[in-house]
Amino acid sequence: ASSVEWSCQAERAARDEAAAKCRDLPQAPVIADHTGRVVLRPCRDLVRMCGMGINLEQYCPQTCGLCVAQPAEHFFGQLRSYQSYGHYAQIQQNAMQAKLMTRDEQYASQEDIGILAAYLWERLPSPGRGLCHGTRAGREQRWFMQAMPGFEVWGTEISALGAGFAHTISPWDFHDVPPGWEGRADFVYSNAMDHAYDPPRAVRAWMRSLSAEGVLVLDTQHVAGDVWQSAPMSDPYAASVAQLQRLILLAGPFELC
């Protein structure tokens, strides 16, 4: 609940002027789904959409910018489109190869993984299983296993180059549940949400991988607007914290911790 409250406050602070105008708007234009379809929705309907799976009553009345979305702004973030799935997959594979050749540093550090592992270690029974998505050279799963004795952790990588790294399911597109992982993971982790071409589908697949008491951990930047415009083609998705929370709620319903 605290993370939802924080993101609402941050978004309202950034949009005070727009929020004031919103009070007089009977409708607001939003891009309603991953197809990019723009629709006019009554503000009260948008608030009602927010009610799925969330236990914080203040979230919906405060709107968190639901009614002030602009036509160019995706309801749960900004999303690029590709010529075809093959085009998307090739771009991701090329990006993987380029980063390996240049030894490009990855987004999450071992220290970051250690902090998350400590959080999970306190909440999950051991031994257990974890699944990481978009792991490139396989560091995340190795670091989680080092920090969580008794846990077996695997990663997925869309590029066939991932097969050269331990505990990696490769090639595999993280928009689908890997074989044998339906309901089997005690935690799912990814810092590659920005590589999703269909974010709701990815979230649903990751949640299906979890056991009944499993935890989904998304490690991502707060990105929106002009910053996203300069991102490479391999990063199709960008979202603010509030937009990411909407995505999780509307892809589910799922409950935010």
| Residue that wins the pLDDT comparison between 74 and 196 | 196
Residue intervals in the chain for CATH 3.40.50.150: 85-238
Q: What is the enclosing helix (H) or strand (E) of 5? A: helix 2-14
pLDDT bin (cut points 50, 70, 90) of residue 178 is very high
Stretch 53-76: mean pLDDT:
42
Please state, in angstroms and rounded to a whole number, the distance separating the CA atoms of residues 71 and 62. Answer: 21
Q: Is the pLDDT of residue 224 over 70?
A: no
pLDDT bin (cut points 50, 70, 90) of residue 253 is low
Q: What is the enclosing helix (H) or strand (E) of 11? A: helix 2-14
**Exposed, middle or buried by CB within 10 Å (0-12, 13-18, 19+), for 148?**
buried
Q: What is the pLDDT of residue 87?
A: 93
Q: Is the peptide bond before 178 cis (omega within 30 degrees of 0)?
A: no
Q: What is the pLDDT of residue 172?
A: 96
SS3 label, residue 17? helix
Q: Is the pLDDT of residue 152 over 60?
A: yes
Long-range contacts of 155-158 (CB under 8 A, 24+ apart): 155/131, 156/131, 156/132, 157/96, 158/89, 158/92, 158/93, 158/96, 158/134
**Exposed, middle or buried by CB within 10 Å (0-12, 13-18, 19+), for 176?**
middle
pLDDT 10s digits, 129-147 = 999 999 988 999 999 999 9
Q: What is the pLDDT of residue 73?
A: 47
Q: What is the enclosing helix (H) or strand (E) of 210? A: strand 210-218
Secondary structure (DSSP) of 75-142: TTSEE---S-HHHHHHHHHHHHHHHHHHTPPPSS-HHHHHHHHHHHHHHS-SSEEEEEES-TTTHHHH
| Residue that wins the pLDDT comparison between 67 and 79 | 79
What percent of the chain is modeled with pLDDT above 90? Answer: 37
What CATH architecture is 85-238?
Answer: 3-Layer(aba) Sandwich (3.40)
191: DSSP letter:
S
Amino acid at 101: M
Q: What is the pLDDT of residue 5?
A: 53
Q: CA end-to-end span of the chain, whole Å?
A: 6
| Residue that wins the pLDDT comparison between 38 and 179 | 179
pTM of the predicted model as reported, rounded to 2 decimal places: 0.72
Q: What is the mean pLDDT of the chain?
A: 75
pLDDT bin (cut points 50, 70, 90) of residue 174 is very high
Q: What is the pLDDT of residue 252?
A: 64
Q: What is the pLDDT of residue 100?
A: 77
Contact 165, 190 (CB under 8 A): no
C-alpha to C-alpha distances, 37 to 34, 75, 226, nearest whole angstrom: 8, 10, 21
Q: Is the peptide bond before 200 cis (omega within 30 degrees of 0)?
A: no
pLDDT 10s digits, 41-58 = 565 555 554 444 333 333
